Structure 1
């Protein structure tokens, strides 16, 4: 899973904090945003495929992977503001295609609502924000005493997490498990993950207030939206795609068969083709 030469991560300073990212290719800007407790490596395949024709940015969100946490709490609005500051730091001055998986999808939508001039399109991959249901492992993290116990890094937890993410067990490799454990052992990882979980949900599931407000605002935007899902997602169930169709009736949607929470990995080539078709069919940003 190591990145080839030229596609390895480097660092940039955003609001005085070190942020790990990758930037490659030339053309319209694309920003790839990962999920909670994850890192930019979840988008390695898409990064490599999209660099032919696009300027691709993969970034570790604050408090994830190689990025230091923000000065304040990690909330959805704060994470969206961070992405805007990141774009400033790396000199992106034109609308970008945002591709977000899980938490990254909600961050992308929040940025589109807060700063619509920055966003050319939204591609939401098994995105948070469309329903209350979420895996019990995340719901329990909203309970403070349990969170302290459940967020202690262990190989067993890392293995269970990887098994829940992927439908095909062939993707649950020793290397992926070891890397998940490495991420969990970062000194800021548990605190940031708990902050995000408590901001977005409770032990009963994802809070409806921020979801309803956000989706209503996204529906009013004049921005192309693609929503895709894996039909075997154990983290955010595929029924959320029906909610996406209802709340965002102009969005294009697709359900991947025999696929878990990360179509960008399990269906890398298919998603890549779908993204290019989506952008070429009317989601291209203006020249500039």
Structure 2
């Protein structure tokens, strides 16, 4: 391990099967794992990470092929990201069931990991998660059209600003630091390939594919694990109507809709999000 991630809570790297994984670890207590969305980084959980680290051991990861984490030697699919996440947790010594918190694609990764290795999971918190409907922003659907996808993924500050603006209801969150982080991630030599592999495995120009969603949600519904699904009512990436689908497909789940909030409620409503999840963990819903 170089630049150990638990020193002063700063990001560092851990080596997993010869591959560098960027991570941030802080705090003591029950383990919490924070998983970001497609094309994003662990920076999307910076505020929540700090709040949770007061009384939890919090692990934020750059998913395989994202941010500062090296790409896999296999196609980047939901199952591959879940396996890589499990291997990273092993490398970090997370040896007890963890609360998984996933935003967007990270929510689908968390669900896949819970289905594939349920003994690793204490609860699932899904924030504006992929998997509950076909509808998704046109910007992601167009990536399924090659070579248009590669053209759209050429890094530029204008594109980064447009993307960041789409993620938030409150434009004050579109800061220079967030733009710098997004640009740095987009400029990684493998970034476009990873994005196109993921988009191609999860959907088409028509939207998120139904096959993997149905299989995954059916399997999650059978799990004996507490579930919390939250959404921002002004999400322009995955519409808030998907929360109704979550209630129908996962009837045991607790749900919450944040007002005047976009695709990243853990950023726009960090304090409320923290309060909501810690209350959920303290008094989880009745199982089964």
The count of aligned residue pairs is 281
* Aligned counterparts of 1:192 and 1:26: Cα–Cα separation in 2: 33
The residue matched to 2:283 in structure 1 has which SS? Answer: helix
1:282 Cα deviation from its structure 2 partner: 2.8
* Aligned counterparts of 1:23 and 1:5: Cα–Cα separation in 2: 8
Which residue of the partner structure matches residue 70 of structure 1?
72
1:4 Cα deviation from its structure 2 partner: 12
In the alignment, is residue 181 of structure 1 matched against residue 179 of structure 2?
no
1:91 Cα deviation from its structure 2 partner: 1.1
Gaps of 5+ in 1: 284-288
- After TM superposition, the score normalised by the length of structure 2 is 0.96
Q: Deviations over 1:247-287 (max 9, x none)?
A: 0000000000000000000000000000100000037xxxx
Gaps of 5+ in 2: none
* Aligned counterparts of 1:204 and 1:179: Cα–Cα separation in 2: 29
Which residue of the partner structure matches residue 9 of structure 2?
7
Between 1:17-26 and 1:175-184, the stretch displaced more is 175-184
* Aligned counterparts of 1:193 and 1:127: Cα–Cα separation in 2: 17
Which residue of the partner structure matches residue 194 of structure 2?
192
Between 1:148-157 and 1:105-114, the stretch displaced more is 148-157
The residue matched to 1:253 in structure 2 has which SS? Answer: strand
Which residue of the partner structure matches residue 280 of structure 1?
282
1:5 Cα deviation from its structure 2 partner: 7.4
* Aligned counterparts of 2:109 and 2:7: Cα–Cα separation in 1: 29
Q: Deviations over 1:20-49 (max 9, x none)?
A: 001111111100000000000000011100
Which residue of the partner structure matches residue 159 of structure 1?
161
**RMSD (Å), alpha carbons:** 1.3
Q: 2:174 aligns with which of 166, 172, 175?
A: 172
Which residue of the partner structure matches residue 243 of structure 1?
245
* Aligned counterparts of 1:227 and 1:192: Cα–Cα separation in 2: 27
- After TM superposition, the score normalised by the length of structure 1 is 0.96
* Aligned counterparts of 2:79 and 2:268: Cα–Cα separation in 1: 30
Q: Deviations over 1:143-166 (max 9, x none)?
A: 111111101111111011001000
